Structure 1
Amino acid sequence: MNTSMYLLRAARSPCVSQKSSREAVLRAASAIRLLNLHEYQSQQLMRDAGINVPRGFDVNSREAALSAAKSFDGKDIVVKAQVLAGGRGLGTFKNGFKGGVHICYDPEKAADVAESMIGQHLVTKQTGEQGRLCSKALVTERMYLRREMYFAITYDRESQGPVIVASRVGGTSIEDIAAADPSAITKIPVNMVEGLTKADAEKCARALGFANQHAIDKAIDQVEKLYSLFIEKDATLVEVNPIAETPEGDVVCIDAKINFDDNAEFRHKEIFSMRDVSQEDPREVTASAHDLNYIGLDGNIGCLVNGAGLAMATMDIIKLHGGDPANFLDVGGSATETQVTEAFKILNDDTKVEAILVNIFGGIMRCDVIAQGIINAAKTIDMRVPVVVRLQGNKVDEAKALIRASGLKLVATDDLDQAAKKACTLAEIVRLANTVDVTVAFQS
């Protein structure tokens, strides 16, 4: 089963009781299917596919922005901060400059705006207080629009294939559109074998609100090209909001978001080379480099577990005993000693972590491999927090023998409930010790 689908099924399981666990696993599922491109990158892919997009240039300096703005020959200009987060227009940069999207009426103003954005962190409703670094701005021509609509292609669990989502209303979030008028949204499942038919494309065009045949034909052409891009590039999402009609009757994709399936990276090296890791949590970047499923949370107890369901159960029981998970970290069923060591480095380097709970059920995964990884980590890094280890299953006796022989001061238990209690208690001891600047030794 695809890992992301497994995580999504696990997150929706009725046995998952804690909200934090569901959110963590849903985030992990989306992270696995993660290559999120900047707007200028998505537009270039669409441009290459023959899809109508506004003229625009990505720039990383005031000089480049000024040159780009002058190329529009007196037309109004839009400058957009290129960060991977929604709500850019209402965001604020940490230097005090307000707004990640600006309409400008002359090249000098556009250059000034771009200069205020580039190299600064933009804070939006999706970034948290730390914001996201804006390394580039998109300088594009302003387009005057007759109508704004919403268009997306994604995969649908219900129909087990691609689905087109179309609305005659656009320019705002699809959730807001649905809340205001559910009838404004049309879902069009696409048969995986047949592909997109003319009838499907025409139904979509009409759902977008096109009425005369000339406009419908233009919309059909864009819908077909968008679907071809979705399939050929192994995308998991192509979202255009808004897709718009100009006064001249043309159909233009104004803003675009495209996500891709990580499993298809070997087929699309050129696309995956566009990944901007500066927009991601450094811990998650490090984890992905070692094929670890990691999502950072805001708690104080680091979790190292194998399997999404067990990870959620572990987070739930930590919450039950008053702790708070610091992460979702699933080493999977085939982790090596090196991967386990790297996992411990990530947990140990997280300054919020005050204790680590290892909970492994050895089925495919061997407990002795986990044990050796723990030992390697303890010997190669300065473990600053206590480690509680609960191992059960395949090669568990061998694992316990390795831990005993190592001489490390690990807290071992066979019972998950006891393991969670001990992790929470030790985390509290560390927290109290830190408040009075006391150093506590946890290993020999």
Structure 2
Amino acid sequence: MTTPIPSRRTVLKGAAALSLSGAAGALGTVLAQPHGAALAATPANGQPAVQVALTAAEGSRPELAGQGTLALFNGGLPGPVLRVKKGGTLTVDLANTLRESVALSWQGVRLPAGAPALAAVAPGKSASLRLTPPDAGTFWYHATSPTLARRALSGALVVEEAGAPAYAFDHLLFIQSFPPESGVPIFPVNGAISPTFQGPASGRARLRLVNATPLFLRLRVRGPACYALAVDGQPVTEPFEFKEGRIVIPPGGRVDMAATLDDADASIIEIETTQDPIRLAVVTPVGPAGTPPSGPPAPLPGNDLPAEIPLKDAVRFELPIGDKAAGPASIGTIKTGRSVVLTLTNSLDAPVAVYIAGHPVRLLDNVYDGWRPWWHDTVPVPAKSTARVAFLAGSPGTWPIVGQRGGDGEVVLSRTYEVMA
């Protein structure tokens, strides 16, 4: 699929790249416009409370997904964007009209085990799911069932930092994928094909990228410099520039970034393929021209995560990833305050995205116990490779570890771990 690219007069700068453990390269950039969320504000912990209604029902989008039915929230593709301030309470009134139970996974959100937000809603029933996200960042919600999630039952959750926004232009890009009857993959962005958005001429826009596809997406932003602000919802300590605007995002992963715009040319966000690139979105500069900012932007406010993970006496577990997904089985029990190292060994010929619930993790070097300077909740494990991660146990409960094969989303790892006070 060929997509014409408008001329531009800026040249991309070379800079440090963020490697995702070799699982298809380095991180890249994208953007889109936020879309609606119903809310009702009342005071809660000094922050507004938000209440939304979600209905899970059968629907169709033949222009995107071909013939047949999808499972949709509120009849939309994707579901509505849920927004709440850090420290505020979000209540979701979920009505389930499907023929199977629906439970939601709030990917990357640190919730207490057994929280009401995790409860399943039986067919034909309704329930109120309540959560208070402790971290600001970009997250997403989807059906816990991989089958329902792949049928489009998903949407974005944006937890905003306290105070005034740092960026006047703050766009969300929620990427999904569907194989239509033509056989050519379609990648809607917020439910639209190749939408156009605006950013400040000679300025920067915050771009929130959610990969809601089962694919490892190789992305490139053709435009001026862009910088990593956050990975999987957690801010990086020092924003850094993406080399040549390139990034690979694993299924379920998120990246926030600051994209620089000049005063004349649009930036193009593409999926790189072995053939022609596929255009995802375009951002055009608006407003008065000037001198674009140079150097990295200021970091986002940090969340309450441990500054150190002592690894000398860490509890260590081996988790093989294979063709068959075993039934839920605990890998062990850990006391709060202990450090944990997980070794994820992928014997498959395809990369795997491993979601670790309960705790953000640091990706370790494969040779020694040093970690990359950012957090993950969704860990890319390349084909025929091993990845190691570490975290500090702090949330009591039983937490799942789920690995899904890149390409088809098949579950190839299913385990749990228990943290005890």
What's the TM-score bracket when you normalise by the shorter of the two chains?
A: under 0.3
The structure richer in strand per residue is: 2
> More relative contact order in 1 or in 2 (CA 8 Å, sep 6+)?
2
- Greater per-residue helix proportion: 1
TM-score normalised by structure 2 residue count:
0.21
Taking structure 1 as the reference length, the TM-score comes to 0.20
Return the index of the structure with the highest Cα Rg. Answer: 1
